[in-house]
A and B are shown apart, each in its own frame.
Chain A
């Protein structure tokens, strides 16, 4: 597909889903309520607008992080979680919930601090490492450690309500997220996205392997710093305000690679737009769940991601049998 058509189509899809996200929920509110004096305009302006903006930003940063991570590690199965940053940020959030009383700033600050600590540990573990395997292994160490400590904290929670709050957070959600959450996370996510968008040419060159990339004038340490800090900011800030939302960074680059082409740099902007569209759509579906409550966004993404990869797997098996 031609790039302008792909980007235009994705942009229209994001705008359409954003508008739908303002209108759709337990109560359907027409967009005209905003300017027609309808009292329900407050639902759009104060509840759904920040939530839709946060969904857009979260999806874009996760989709972009996934595309960059797959290009950097030269592995189509890599995702932002492979660095262990999301696990570290979740550890911080759970620590704040279990130990600190769960104020909004407390959770955000603890999650970002733990994400930063995770990045520092990752940098220390991969000092002078050049192979993708070293980063995957270091990320696995970090994710395993964070998961163990998170489970430990939940096991020493003072009462069942705290356990429920921690588990609820880990499932990831945009429910009840407001302007404060958006203003906390947006600067970090935007900074992370800016860093990640600067990696396109380097990722293209890395297609030829590290030596060829360096011979083309690419600085691999600079690329590594951009990827780790950029993805860390995006994922850390995302987890800090919404909890753990998986699969976006894995699924979106997969879905769009056949349309955008295999060049890693060409996939970055489409993956950001595709991620935004996917999270906006999933969040709408979450709200439409029957009953008074909502399905958790992390659960919805997993329900989308697992069948998608099952279809891919069946396709691969079909090809190998054919």
Chain B
């Protein structure tokens, strides 16, 4: 059960972006998807959400192939927060968050209120989205996904363009979602934040899974040197490890 990729290959144009990724993800846990630029992190999330077709292999959700699930059922189960979360019209926040209920076909009053409360955006509900700061906007977009009450949350670089405080707050939201039983896959670039938020880490290199398992076991100097080509210092701190890149491996 859970979300699983079986020997997943994805080809975009003439380029093979994912090369036989096999990994399973458990509900109620946060999995950080890490890797260098172009390693296939975003492609993996898009394939898990059936937004990209697998050229071979498959993605299974609770024993069912996501590619052949009815779109509405899949949308109810998997919430996807894209990397480039553009909002093309200056909608009011409440209307934007309500879009998360589209797969359910209801107004989702309680779910929307809960999502606004969880993301601390109730006070923003009547504001146009273009009047928000970057941090407020990121929280609202996350609220949109949470309003759909998915069993799985796939977030592609949700910390991009956020200041440190909002990064920590967003990660706390993801942790809280996992605490409610949601499975969370999140693409991150910051290794220290990944070490602090993630239960598990999937480390990708050139489209293949280099390592996958509990964060403490995957985030080692050797693995990170292999994935990123850098030497790192891993410093123990009371709040968790701090991972500092030092130079080329």
Residues in chain A within 8 A of chain B (CB atoms): 71, 74, 201, 204-209, 211-212, 214-219, 261-264, 266
In the complex, whether B128 has a CB less than 8 A from a CB of chain A is yes
**Which of the listed residues B46, B51, B75, B88 has the most CB atoms from chain A within 10 Å of its own CB?**
B88
Contact of A217 with B71 in the complex, beta carbons under 8 Å: yes
Contact of B102 with A218 in the complex, beta carbons under 8 Å: yes
In the complex, whether B144 has a CB less than 8 A from a CB of chain A is yes
- B79 contacts which chain A residues (CB < 8 A)? 215
- B75 contacts which chain A residues (CB < 8 A)? 215-217
Partner of B87, one of A208, A215, A217, A218: A208
Interface of B is mostly: mixed
In the complex, whether B72 has a CB less than 8 A from a CB of chain A is yes
- B86 contacts which chain A residues (CB < 8 A)? 208-209
A219 to B99, CA, bound (A): 15
In the complex, whether B92 has a CB less than 8 A from a CB of chain A is yes
Given A215-B51, A219-B71, residue A208 in contact with residue B144 (CB < 8 A): yes
**Count of inter-chain pairs, beta carbons less than 8 A:** 77
Contact bitstring B142-163, A, C-beta under 8 A = 1, else 0? 0010001000000000000000
A86 to B95, CA, bound (A): 34
Number of interface residues of B (CB under 8 A): 31
Contact of A205 with B99 in the complex, beta carbons under 8 Å: yes
Partner of B92, one of A74, A214, A218, A261: A261
Contact of B89 with A263 in the complex, beta carbons under 8 Å: yes
In the complex, whether B12 has a CB less than 8 A from a CB of chain A is no
- The distance from the CB of B75 to the nearest CB of chain A, in whole angstroms, is 3
**Which of the listed residues B46, B78, B79, B82 has the most CB atoms from chain A within 10 Å of its own CB?**
B82
Given A207-B87, A209-B85, residue A216 in contact with residue B102 (CB < 8 A): yes
Residue of A nearest to B72 (CB): A217
A206 to B89, CA, bound (A): 10
Contact of A263 with B82 in the complex, beta carbons under 8 Å: no
Contact of B87 with A211 in the complex, beta carbons under 8 Å: no
Q: Can you identify 12 A-B contacts, CB atoms within 8 angstroms?
A: A74-B89, A205-B99, A207-B96, A208-B85, A209-B84, A209-B86, A211-B82, A215-B78, A215-B79, A216-B102, A217-B102, A263-B89
Contact of B102 with A201 in the complex, beta carbons under 8 Å: yes
- B102 contacts which chain A residues (CB < 8 A)? 201, 204-205, 216-218
**Which of the listed residues A208, A215, A263 has the most CB atoms from chain B within 10 Å of its own CB?**
A215
- A264 contacts which chain B residues (CB < 8 A)? 89
Contact of B71 with A207 in the complex, beta carbons under 8 Å: no
- The distance from the CB of B77 to the nearest CB of chain A, in whole angstroms, is 10
A264 to B88, CA, bound (A): 10
A157 to B22, CA, bound (A): 69
A205 to B148, CA, bound (A): 13
- A204 contacts which chain B residues (CB < 8 A)? 95, 99, 102
Contact bitstring B182-223, A, C-beta under 8 A = 1, else 0? 000000000000000000000000000000000000000000
Contact of A209 with B92 in the complex, beta carbons under 8 Å: no
- A209 contacts which chain B residues (CB < 8 A)? 82, 84-86, 88
Given A261-B92, A262-B90, A262-B128, residue A207 in contact with residue B49 (CB < 8 A): no
- B80 contacts which chain A residues (CB < 8 A)? 211-212, 215
